[in-house]
């Protein structure tokens, strides 16, 4: 009972701190609009041109890079004033952090790359949330596939465990959403493919992406982590796999690692059985039992 009381007080304190931080952050966000420094990434989701979402050149403020499906979902938010949108978007990120943090949200908010993520208003925390939800509701992977795309290699976790139903749900929901979106704006999908092709051929990927290494190497690492983690029944390594497979990483991209908090807890509370990859069938089995001695 004493322990429960202490935990309740800690959670209440965390909520108070989070509300205080959120209030201060929203106030700073509104004030920062004047200087154009707050919500740098979030601005791209608010300023989407419904008719031509990819009209803005890449690497400029307001450039939109994700799929037309996400653009169609976010476009109505452009009807809000930017301060209202930024306040709501910031609140969504903080709510996601509070859910991921499991009582440690206020402390995690002070981690530099998490603060930068909330400051810029990108979607890495939402990616972390979709990853955690995806172990129970595989349809959540559609959000990852229709935004950052490359972390979708994490579905190999389910393949390594031969959970084909989960893979099928994730891909089917993604395909259904993409098909509906394509029916509404087929030209936008052509423009997005062209943008992805140009982005993939960039000679200068940016300082942080260059420091992280080439995308092909990071994807290979993510594949290895996903297959190993799936076969061993570990969920927590998938936060690392998704983080290293992000297409254009920056310091704030590390906020995906906030998924480690609930995933480590989930692995402890509900451990999974191992699923061997079946390599013995390919390489041939060797018996560890010596042949029986011949008696006369």
Tokens of 160: 């390594």
CB 118 within 8 A of CB 90: yes
Task: Show the domain range for 168.
Answer: 10-272
**If residue 183 lies in a helix (H) or strand (E), which one and from where to where?**
helix 164-184
| pLDDT tens for each residue of 174-208 | 999 999 999 999 999 999 998 888 776 665 556 66
For residue 135, pLDDT beyond 70: yes
Spell out a b/e string for 271-284, using b for 16 or more CB atoms within 10 Å of the CB, else e. eeeeeeeeeeeeee
Query: Does any domain span residue 278?
Result: no
pTM of the complete model:
0.82
Site of tokens 């208003």: 121
Query: Does any domain span residue 277?
Result: no
Query: Does any domain span residue 148?
Result: yes
| pLDDT tens for each residue of 62-115 | 788 899 999 999 888 888 999 999 999 999 999 999 999 988 888 888 888 998
Query: Does any domain span residue 129?
Result: yes
With a pLDDT cut of 90, the percent of the chain lying above it is: 54
Domain count, the chain: 1
Query: Does any domain span residue 281?
Result: no
């Amino acid at each position: 009972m004493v322990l429960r009381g202490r935990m309740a007080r800690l959670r209440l304190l965390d909520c108070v701190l989070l509300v205080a931080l959120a209030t201060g952050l929203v106030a700073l966000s509104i004030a920062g609009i004047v200087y154009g420094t707050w919500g740098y990434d979030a601005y791209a989701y608010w300023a989407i041109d419904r008719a031509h979402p990819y009209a803005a050149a890449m690497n400029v403020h307001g450039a939109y890079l994700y799929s037309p499906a996400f653009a169609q979902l976010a476009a109505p938010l452009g009807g809000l004033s930017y301060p209202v949108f930024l306040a709501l978007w910031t609140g969504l990120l903080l709510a996601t952090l509070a859910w991921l943090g499991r009582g440690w949200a206020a402390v995690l908010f002070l981690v530099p790359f998490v603060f930068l993520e909330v400051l810029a208003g990108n979607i890495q925390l939402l990616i972390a949330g979709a990853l955690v939800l995806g172990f129970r509701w595989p349809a959540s992977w559609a959000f990852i596939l229709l935004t950052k795309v490359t972390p979708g290699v994490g579905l190999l976790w389910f393949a390594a465990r031969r959970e084909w139903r989960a893979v099928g749900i994730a891909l089917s929901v993604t395909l259904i959403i993409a098909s509906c979106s394509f029916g509404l704006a087929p030209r936008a999908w052509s423009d997005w493919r062209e943008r992805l092709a140009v982005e993939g051929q960039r000679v200068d990927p940016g300082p942080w992406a260059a420091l992280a290494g080439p995308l092909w190497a990071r994807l290979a690492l993510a594949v290895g982590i996903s297959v190993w983690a799936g076969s061993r029944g570990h969920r927590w390594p998938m936060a690392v796999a998704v983080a290293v497979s992000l297409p254009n990483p920056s310091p704030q991209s590390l906020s995906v690692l906030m998924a480690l908090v609930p995933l480590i807890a989930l692995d402890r509370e509900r451990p999974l059985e191992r699923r061997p990859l079946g390599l013995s069938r390919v390489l041939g089995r060797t018996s560890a039992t010596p042949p029986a001695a011949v008696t006369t």
